[in-house]
Amino acid sequence: MPFRSLSRFATFKVHYINLAREVVQQAIDNLSEHAKITSLDIDRGFADGIFLWWLNTKDITFLIPAKSNMNVYKDALFCIGTGNLDKRDKIRTVGAG
Count of residues in the chain: 97
Average pLDDT score, the chain: 77
Whether residue 60 is predicted with pLDDT greater than 90 in this model: the reply is yes
As beta bridge partners, residue 39 has 61
Q: Which residue has the higher pLDDT, 14 or 89?
A: 89
In the structure, what pLDDT confidence band is assigned to residue 36 with cuts at 50, 70 and 90? very high
d(C-alpha 38, C-alpha 72), whole Å: 22
Whether residue 77 is predicted with pLDDT greater than 80 in this model: the reply is no
**In the chain, what is the straight-line distance between the N-terminal and C-terminal CA atoms, in Å?**
40
pTM: 0.63
The pLDDT of residue 1 is 47
